[in-house]
Amino acid sequence: MQFPPPVARRYPWRRFPVSAQSWLQPKRVVFLAAAVAVFFATLPTHFTAGAEENLWLDVARASVTADELLRHVGVLADDIFEGRETGSRGGRAAAKYIAEKLKEAGLQPAGPNQTFVQPFSGNSQNLLALLPGKDPDVQGETLIIGAHYDHVGYGTRRNSYGPRGYIHNGADDNASGVAALLEVIDAVMQTGYQPRRSMLFAFWDGEEKGLLGSKHWVSSPTVSLKDVRLALNIDMVGRLDGGRIEVGGTRTGRGLRHLMSSPQLSETTWLDFSWEYKENGDHWTFFQAGVPSLYVHTGLHDDYHRPSDDVEKLNIEGMREVTQYLVEQICELADAEQLPDFRSEATLDTPQTRRRQEKTLPALSPRLGFDWKILSGKNTGPSVKRVHRQSAAGRAGLKRGDRIVSADNLPCTEPWLLPAIALTSPAELTLEIERAGTDMPLALVIPLQGAPIRLGLSWREDPAEHQSVYVTRVVPYSAAARAGIKLHDRICALDRESINGSNDLLVRMQALLAEGRDNIVLKIESRGALREVMVPLGAFETSRPDATL
């Protein structure tokens, strides 16, 4: 990743990393049968008998191993490559290593003269390989998946936070991205995957000197630039922290956030769809050329552009998770029914714009005119804590300390039941209460404020995402809240049919509610994770429903 403004602090470093030579000895021979064995040994919980069409993808994901990632990154970040400065002997040696791996994978050379190499600026060189598409309708479209392999050598005042004069191995920047891309290639090739669209795998040189390699390719493309439908940049994916994978550029094409979301993310992994998009990586080159352009990144750190960016500091297991995610999403993009056109407005979408656009709606006025607390003990209903002044509940005779036994003849044995019933009741609520000093329960009819709420959701349309809307309000205790829907979640489908913007969802939702449905099924995207959620709309039960399918 390109050099940003310096930070104030200085951090410790290691002069020489552990040698990678021990990782070079075993030669990898992985066959599909072995990958299948790994797959069944680590069968994910989402896999069912009805998901046979996803078997190849599960096998491809399972074929990504921490050992292979460590081997690749260990070679590229070894001292023998002297920091892989573009045009240097170490940079040329790194290019040779990558070219050998492309040849072993069985990919077609995509550089000039039927080679993998696209030379430029003296000794600088991009490495290019092609996996042709198989669908006659879209095989002419190209998806570029790239990672830069150069780094800053021994460092200068322009590209190093110091100390300069020592080897800057760039294990994370960007040996990690190169290793991930090599494993993506290995996964798709060994499963026999045949994409609909063509895939151009690119290993860029000269990124650290101003995106030189990707700029050279755009000025001298090896496939027609007008056929490039999307570019994906893999840059610094070796320091996964807190499960956060940054995915940038989704606003450069309408619907890219949805295409980059996944049902396969682990519970501890999440996607940060950044709205910050700037000239700090090879994705920018393609954006400037009018191509929707994404990047995947796991964040900066104290060792960035320092000699201390070494292999032993990488989160190799985290790299495996990121690479498995990349395998899935790259294939998703290659096989999508349609890829989005370029959206130039992406430059106007900043983190500040995001805060304004995603501003949540204020809470609705409560329908009940009193507050309550939950008492301990089995089958104990809520106790009235405070009756609001001038409220209908007070005028109906409700008092502090009353214990609510039932609401509309349903026992209040669950803490969510009373407010949930109050939300959906048309105009009034009948409470059975127990009051100190009285022998028999009392029945009180409490008028309710405002209109009934059946679903409890508000949403807003995103101009960059026509296939989803984002949630701007979830009414507490509503059907949506009980189903586990949260603020800023995105609704992608209703009853397993995709939506086309806010109005489409509103019209279809109103029609379903008018039918008196007991439940609806929503497809929800939350921080990149896709799941189906059943929202209960029918009669209340006295036990909490299991809302998630």
| CA–CA separation, 382 and 410 (whole Å) | 13
Q: Among 33-42, 157-166, 170-179, 208-217, which is the least confidently predicted range?
A: 33-42
443 pLDDT exceeds 90?
yes
Return the structure tokens found at 455: 């679903």
Confidence of residue 54 (pLDDT cuts 50, 70, 90): low
108 pLDDT exceeds 90?
yes
| Residue 500 within a domain | yes
Q: 133 by DSSP, 3-state: which?
A: coil
**Are 288 and 403 contained in the same domain?**
no
Return the structure tokens found at 539: 């009669």
51 pLDDT exceeds 90?
no
**Are 392 and 328 contained in the same domain?**
no
Confidence of residue 122 (pLDDT cuts 50, 70, 90): confident
In this prediction, residue 431 carries a pLDDT of: 96
| Residue 541 within a domain | no
Confidence of residue 16 (pLDDT cuts 50, 70, 90): very low
Of 447, 475, 496, which residue sits at a domain end?
447
Alpha carbon 170 to its chain centroid, in Å, reads 25
| Residue 546 within a domain | no
Environment class of 95 (CB within 10 Å of its CB; exposed 0-12, middle 13-18, buried 19+): buried
| Residue 362 within a domain | no
Of 296, 319, 352, which residue sits at a domain end?
352
| CA–CA separation, 141 and 132 (whole Å) | 10
Q: What is the mean pLDDT of residues 385-412?
A: 93
The CA dihedral of 250, 251, 254, 257, to the nearest 10 degrees, is 30
**Are 55 and 160 contained in the same domain?**
no
The proportion of the chain whose per-residue pLDDT surpasses 90, expressed as a percent, equals 82
Residue with tokens 């279809």: 508
Of 408, 425, 447, which residue sits at a domain end?
447
In this prediction, residue 377 carries a pLDDT of: 64
**Are 440 and 475 contained in the same domain?**
no
Q: What is the pLDDT of residues 131-168, one digit of tens each?
A: 999 999 999 999 999 999 999 999 999 999 999 999 99
The total number of structural domains that make up the chain: 4
Question: Average pLDDT, whole number, for the chain?
Answer: 89
Confidence of residue 2 (pLDDT cuts 50, 70, 90): confident
| Residue 364 within a domain | no
Q: What is the mean pLDDT of residues 367-392?
A: 87
The DSSP result for 167-212, as a single string, is: ----IIIIIIHHHHHHHHHHHHHHTT---SSEEEEEEES-GGGTSH
Residue in 314, 260, 259, 329 with CA at minimum distance from that of residue 60 = 329
Q: What is the pLDDT of residues 319-328, one digit of tens each?
A: 999 999 999 9
**Are 422 and 460 contained in the same domain?**
no
In this prediction, residue 49 carries a pLDDT of: 32
The DSSP result for 246-300, as a single string, is: EEE-GGGBTTHHHHH-BS---TT-EEEEE----SSSTHHHHHHTT--EEEEE---
In this prediction, residue 194 carries a pLDDT of: 94
Q: What is the mean pLDDT of residues 336-360?
A: 93
Looking at residue 508, which CATH number applies to its domain?
Answer: 2.30.42.10
**Are 84 and 229 contained in the same domain?**
yes
Residue with tokens 């349309």: 461
| Residue 264 within a domain | yes
Pairing of strands 490-494, 465-474: antiparallel
Contact 324, 61 (CB under 8 A): yes
Global pTM value: 0.87
Confidence of residue 369 (pLDDT cuts 50, 70, 90): very high
**Are 345 and 231 contained in the same domain?**
yes
Q: What is the pLDDT of residues 286-310, one digit of tens each?
A: 999 999 999 999 999 999 999 999 9
In this prediction, residue 205 carries a pLDDT of: 98
| Residue 16 within a domain | no
**Are 186 and 218 contained in the same domain?**
yes
The DSSP result for 386-439, as a single string, is: EEPTT-HHHHTT--TT-EEEEETTEE--STTHHHHHHHH-SSEEEEEEE-TT-S
In this prediction, residue 538 carries a pLDDT of: 80
| CA–CA separation, 176 and 60 (whole Å) | 19
**Are 146 and 83 contained in the same domain?**
yes
Range of the domain at 407: 370-447
Contact 9, 69 (CB under 8 A): no
**Are 74 and 57 contained in the same domain?**
no
**Are 427 and 458 contained in the same domain?**
no
Environment class of 517 (CB within 10 Å of its CB; exposed 0-12, middle 13-18, buried 19+): middle
Phi-psi region at 87: left, alpha or beta (left = phi > 0; alpha = psi -120 to 50): left
For the chain, the straight-line distance linking the first and the last C-alpha, in angstroms and rounded, comes to 41
446 pLDDT exceeds 70?
yes
In this prediction, residue 541 carries a pLDDT of: 55
| Residue 363 within a domain | no
**Are 398 and 523 contained in the same domain?**
no
Q: What is the pLDDT of residues 57-95, one digit of tens each?
A: 889 999 999 999 999 999 999 999 999 999 999 999 999
Pairing of strands 490-494, 497-498: antiparallel
Looking at residue 84, which CATH number applies to its domain?
Answer: 3.40.630.10
29 pLDDT exceeds 60?
no
166 CB-near residues (< 8 Å, 6+ apart): 13, 15, 154, 155, 307
Of residues 349 and 20, which shows the higher confidence score?
349
